[in-house]
Structure 1
Amino acid sequence: MIRRLRGPLATLPALALAACAVGPNYKPPVVQPDAKQPFVEGQASTMLSGQPLPDKWWEMFQDPALDRLIQDAFAYNTDIRVADANLRQARGVLLQQRAGLFPTTTVSGQYSRNRTGVDSLGAQPGAAGAIPAGVDGFDYNLFQAGFDASYEVDIFGRVRRSIEAAKGDEQAARAQLDAARITIAASVAQAYADACGYAAQADVARDTARLQGDTLKLTQRLLDAGRGTRRDVDQAAVTVEQANAQVPQLEAERRAQLYALAALTGRPPAEIDGEAQACHIVPKVKTVIPVGDGATLLARRPDVRAAERTLAADTARIGVATAALFPSVSLLGSVNSTGTKGSQLGTAKSFGFSVGPLIQWNFPNILAAKAQIKQARAGTDASLATFQGTVLTALKETESALARYAAALDQNAALGRAADAADDAAKLSRIRFDSGRDNFLNLLVSEQDRASARSALAQSDQAVADAQVSLFKALGGGWENAPPIANAAPGAVSGNPSVQRGSFAVPVSQKSN
């Protein structure tokens, strides 16, 4: 049995518990009060409210296909899987640092066959009471079993500060995973809206070509009847072909967005989503959008949380570097049992032990430690500036998105009125032309105006959807209650069931919390 520690050794554990960790204690940075106020751009709009943003903002578009695509992206997108792997790696580092709170133990066992020569014993064979003549040495077995333990007495807080730093890194990695989810959700929504928008613009171009094709046929009949001119026919043909020329480019852009959707949801380009391909109506939020205020924005945005947690981790690293200025104290202990027979192991006569402190101190050469402290302080200053810049960026992006959204709504409303007026004017010109009260040039101009107004309105519908998605992205929501993530690395998670995903077989991993 190991005897109880007495004297100075007995005070070391108590000293470790009573000691304070060196280095600064972290205090969250103070955000200016005006940064937490209602948004400047949101106060004058009737399409915005101060209510909290819903977790799944994309459901406000009321499009089941979009809901499904975003859920697929959350499960299979490669950027999200990378962020999830980084989080699991940070958790591993945190577990490693926490292991410093416990003793390091080693269990050993050894057997050896040994020979000791007589010369090494310092005795001559044949001497009285010594080694018999003719004996060159002795052969024997040696059995050994041991248990070694060492424990760092964290007097100056090196271990505790290391755990603080690793915990901050882990929490920052978690926030970065949330940020990846926000970015991907917005990218999916924007690609889907753009695919629908380009399809709608192509439909407008086809409809315009059809209407102007009717005008071309009319002018051709008038020419055949001797009432028109070749110039009128050619001008009508120009407007038809101009409308037709827009369709291939719009279709190409639509397919490009469909390919982007496939990649975002973990599919190869050949696997275009059928519902997205069939969409020809731009999804738009037609209700009031809840945006909250600056305080809820800064608490929700993952990039702000990640910057604050990185600042906390870097502050703790100052303590880790400062602890190198002081001696480290470890308690060492070992228990061993040695015998020439296996049956002797564990007996009182084979038992031995040792226990005592180990003090190490890099003194007087502490220049390297001081240099590391300077580096850690500079890193913390940079992290503080990064946090402050992230806060300003979050507010700037949100205010800018609100301003652009308001402008997109006003523009869309004006273009809607213009499209209605241009449609009425074109119908009137057709009636007047058919009755002989107007010339062909006026009819042609009115139909070109109608085509331009319809095209501009279709582009504006797409711009409104894009502005809404950009606003939701700036508000920083959508990472809450995310579904589990699928890991596409074969064999990365042994024993988990596989899900066939396009041309990839992906074992399903657990969601990171």
Structure 2
Amino acid sequence: MNIRMWSLLLFMFLYAVASAQTTNRYLDTPLPSSWEEGGEVFQQMLPVNDQWWKSFGDQTLDSLIAIAIDQNYSVLTAIDRMNMAKANLRMERSSFFPSLGINAGWTKQQTSGTISELPQSTQHYYDATLNMNWELDLFGSIRQRVKAQKETFAASKEEYTAVMVSLSAQVASAYINLRELQQELQVVEKNCASQAAVLKITEVRFNTGLVSKLDVAQAKSVYYSTKASIPQLESGINQYVNTLAVLLGMYPQEIRPSLERIGDLPDYMEPISIGLPADLLMRRPDIRSAERQVNAQAALVGASKSDWLPQVFLKGAIGFSSKDFKDMSNHKSFTYEIAPSLTWTIFSGGKLMNATKLAKAQLDESINQFNQTVLTAIQETENAMTSYSNSIKEIVALREVRNQGQETLTLSLDLYKQGLTPFQNVLDAQRSLLSYENQLVQARGNSLLQLIALYQALGGGWNN
């Protein structure tokens, strides 16, 4: 081999070593140092140690989420994915160790006597050997791939946590929607009873000749219009029961009896601060998973650069070989082989170079995805905080509107009985009161939904 070829090999070796050593610096700029994680990988313990839904004080909701955690098929799938990632990690780690194998057999061979001057002969022998093949990870290719798989396994844990956070939020949201519709149904039924009483008053006044039949017809129109909204509410209630059944991994008939009993909306309306510490966002499992993916891709970049360097193998075998089986244990039958080897790809048509470019592009993609995930988290949290704060103001205002609507109906009905006001005022008061009470129930339900969204946006909850 001439001087130029040796110079080329030396240059390639130095370039590969230098490239392999710059992998970590590639990550320093995009990832803020203040976001580096310490401690165990699986710090987020939702929903075990951060059961935010218990602040609602609703035992039915607590039991529903507990069942969902145990039986939901998305959770079980996430556990399976985590187990698969763990198995892949163990498989990758096995590359650190030598592979051992045993060969044993009997061979009988007859040579031809017509292709050479040697006479025809027959040979047979027994052999048994223990073989070893070991790749020495001198340049860190195996180590980098194990690191990548370790980060992938950690990301699968965060994905499991994300499923748990999402599941608890979905169950709570479906439950709140169910209770909201049940409360609206109660409002409608109460107003139906009130309107039925007014209808009787108009019928009595018509029968005594105090009013025309128009008042009776208008009263019936309002009553039956209100009553017509009941089937739609019952249909919505049934749909949310079915939704909860799917989330719980159960059939609807198993939970319908306990959920069809009308329950109250959780009475929870607490002010929150608008401040948003950065470390709260880092509790979000999707951000933590994206960070793990960046680390995994960085390790794969290092592994691809290590592939430019030589691979060193240590092969060996020990065993016994003998013509007669009874002589297998004789020390003269002992055999061994030691064969260290080095493999270095000099030219591969640009395969190694493009593999490194591909790994770097995938790393850039994961960094961009991480940054996008952070921005999305900030947006979701800000929106949820603003919506929840404003929903509290809306509830306060609607309570006053509802109270005034009740007083308006009482006054207009009293004046109508005395013949001092037309029946149209009573009709307007009835319609308005029904609308105000429905709006108040919807505002209470929406406030709880926004609070759930805020818990979810912050990765499950926070400490005040």
Q: Deviations for 1:484-511, whole angstroms, at most 9, x for unmatched residues?
A: xxxxxxxxxxxxxxxxxxxxxxxxxxxx
Give the aligned residue type for 1:431.
Answer: D
Q: Is the 8 A contact 1:202 1:250 kept in 2?
A: yes
Counterparts of 1:237 and 1:444 in 2: how far apart (Å)?
Answer: 10
Alpha-carbon shift at residue 20 of structure 1 (Å): 11
Partner SS state of residue 454, structure 2:
helix
Q: Is the 8 A contact 1:54 1:477 kept in 2?
A: no
Give me the TM-score of the superposition, normalised by structure 2. 0.87
Which residue number in structure 2 is paired with residue 74 of structure 1?
Answer: 69
Q: Is the 8 A contact 1:285 1:468 kept in 2?
A: no
Query: Is the aligned partner of 1:111 residue 2:111?
Result: no
Select between 96-105 and 257-266 the one with higher mean Cα deviation.
96-105
Alpha-carbon shift at residue 412 of structure 1 (Å): 1.2
Which residue number in structure 2 is paired with residue 389 of structure 1?
Answer: 372
Segments of structure 1 that go 5 or more residues without pairing to the other structure are: 1-17, 35-52, 126-135, 480-513
Counterparts of 1:419 and 1:54 in 2: how far apart (Å)?
Answer: 40
Q: Deviations for 1:50-101, whole angstroms, at most 9, x for unmatched residues?
A: xxx9711011111111111111111111111111111111111111111111
CA RMSD between the two structures? 2.6
Q: Is the 8 A contact 1:196 1:276 kept in 2?
A: no
Give the aligned residue type for 2:320.
Answer: S
Query: Is the aligned partner of 1:145 residue 2:144?
Result: no
Query: Is the aligned partner of 1:88 residue 2:87?
Result: no
Alpha-carbon shift at residue 139 of structure 1 (Å): 6.6
Counterparts of 1:188 and 1:296 in 2: how far apart (Å)?
Answer: 26
CA distance 1:144–1:222, change in 2 (3 Å): same
Query: Is the aligned partner of 1:302 residue 2:285?
Result: yes
Which residue number in structure 2 is paired with residue 443 of structure 1?
Answer: 426
Counterparts of 1:366 and 1:252 in 2: how far apart (Å)?
Answer: 66
Counterparts of 1:286 and 1:467 in 2: how far apart (Å)?
Answer: 11
Which residue number in structure 2 is paired with residue 363 of structure 1?
Answer: 346
Q: Is the 8 A contact 1:294 1:395 kept in 2?
A: no
Query: Is the aligned partner of 1:338 residue 2:332?
Result: no
Alpha-carbon shift at residue 221 of structure 1 (Å): 1.6
CA distance 1:366–1:111, change in 2 (3 Å): same
CA distance 1:476–1:63, change in 2 (3 Å): same
Q: Deviations for 1:431-465, whole angstroms, at most 9, x for unmatched residues?
A: 22223332212122112211111111111121112
Counterparts of 1:88 and 1:94 in 2: how far apart (Å)?
Answer: 10
Partner SS state of residue 119, structure 1:
coil
Which residue number in structure 1 is paired with residue 199 of structure 2?
Answer: 216
Q: Is the 8 A contact 2:408 2:429 kept in 1?
A: yes
CA distance 1:382–1:266, change in 2 (3 Å): same
Q: Is the 8 A contact 1:337 1:345 kept in 2?
A: yes
Q: Is the 8 A contact 1:182 1:478 kept in 2?
A: no
Q: Is the 8 A contact 1:197 1:280 kept in 2?
A: no
Q: Is the 8 A contact 1:20 1:155 kept in 2?
A: no
CA distance 1:200–1:30, change in 2 (3 Å): same
Q: Deviations for 1:5-26, whole angstroms, at most 9, x for unmatched residues?
A: xxxxxxxxxxxxx999655027
Alpha-carbon shift at residue 252 of structure 1 (Å): 0.7
Give the aligned residue type for 2:153.
Answer: E
Alpha-carbon shift at residue 243 of structure 1 (Å): 0.8
Counterparts of 1:124 and 1:21 in 2: how far apart (Å)?
Answer: 58
Counterparts of 2:396 and 2:49 in 1: how far apart (Å)?
Answer: 26
Alignment coverage as a number of residue pairs? 432
Query: Is the aligned partner of 1:187 residue 2:165?
Result: no
CA distance 1:23–1:317, change in 2 (3 Å): farther
Q: Is the 8 A contact 1:23 1:320 kept in 2?
A: no
Matches within 5 A, 1:315-464: 315-365=298-348, 367-464=350-447
Alpha-carbon shift at residue 366 of structure 1 (Å): 5.1
Query: Is the aligned partner of 1:231 residue 2:225?
Result: no
Alpha-carbon shift at residue 401 of structure 1 (Å): 0.2
Identity %: 28
Which residue number in structure 2 is paired with residue 506 of structure 1?
Answer: none
CA distance 1:420–1:54, change in 2 (3 Å): farther
Matches within 5 A, 1:275-290: 275-287=258-270
Give me the TM-score of the superposition, normalised by structure 1. 0.79
Which residue number in structure 2 is paired with residue 499 of structure 1?
Answer: none
Select between 249-258 and 101-110 the one with higher mean Cα deviation.
101-110
Partner SS state of residue 148, structure 1:
strand
Q: Is the 8 A contact 1:61 1:285 kept in 2?
A: yes
Select between 400-409 and 116-125 the one with higher mean Cα deviation.
116-125
Counterparts of 2:364 and 2:425 in 1: how far apart (Å)?
Answer: 69
Alpha-carbon shift at residue 227 of structure 1 (Å): 1.1
Give the aligned residue type for 2:161.
Answer: D
Matches within 5 A, 1:445-484: 445-477=428-460
Segments of structure 2 that go 5 or more residues without pairing to the other structure are: 1-16, 36-47
CA distance 1:32–1:419, change in 2 (3 Å): farther
Give the aligned residue type for 2:357.
Answer: K
Alpha-carbon shift at residue 122 of structure 1 (Å): 5.9
Alpha-carbon shift at residue 119 of structure 1 (Å): 2.2
Q: Is the 8 A contact 1:175 1:302 kept in 2?
A: yes
Counterparts of 2:390 and 2:273 in 1: how far apart (Å)?
Answer: 18
Counterparts of 2:282 and 2:94 in 1: how far apart (Å)?
Answer: 32
Q: Is the 8 A contact 1:332 1:355 kept in 2?
A: yes
Partner SS state of residue 330, structure 1:
strand
Partner SS state of residue 229, structure 2:
helix
Which residue number in structure 1 is paired with residue 52 of structure 2?
Answer: 57
Give the aligned residue type for 2:415.
Answer: R
